[in-house]
Amino acid sequence: MSFPLIATVLMTTLFAIDSSSGAQSPAANPYAAKCQMCHGATGLGDTPAGKAMGARPFNSPEVIKESDADLLATIKNGKAKMPAFAGKLTDSDMTVLVAYIRKLQK
């Protein structure tokens, strides 16, 4: 399967699960475990760790204009003070996280 097809399937699944009553999105656990400490529950980067590390809010124009591939590369390889998650998260988890970031941008 190609990346765009996988991303589409995962995003569709994410939105279907999220719209059901009381269900958590599939990215909730990886996000809570790996991202929330800095980026916060809402993706604003307003946690003490996020402020110290200079985490950009997901709804900032710079992050919104990044492509899904750019966001995926940042998650995989890290950027500035953000650590790389290649080998710590599966490719599938990272793709779902990109969709979750897009959801938090709204």
CATH of domain 3-104: 1.10.760.10
Which tens digits make up the pLDDT trace of 66-86? Answer: 999 999 999 999 999 999 999
| CA angle, residues 23, 27, 28, in degrees to nearest 5 | 60
List pLDDT tens digits, range 18-39. 443 345 555 558 999 999 999 9
pTM of the model: 0.72
Q: Is the dihedral of CA 73, 26, 24, 32 positive or negative?
A: negative
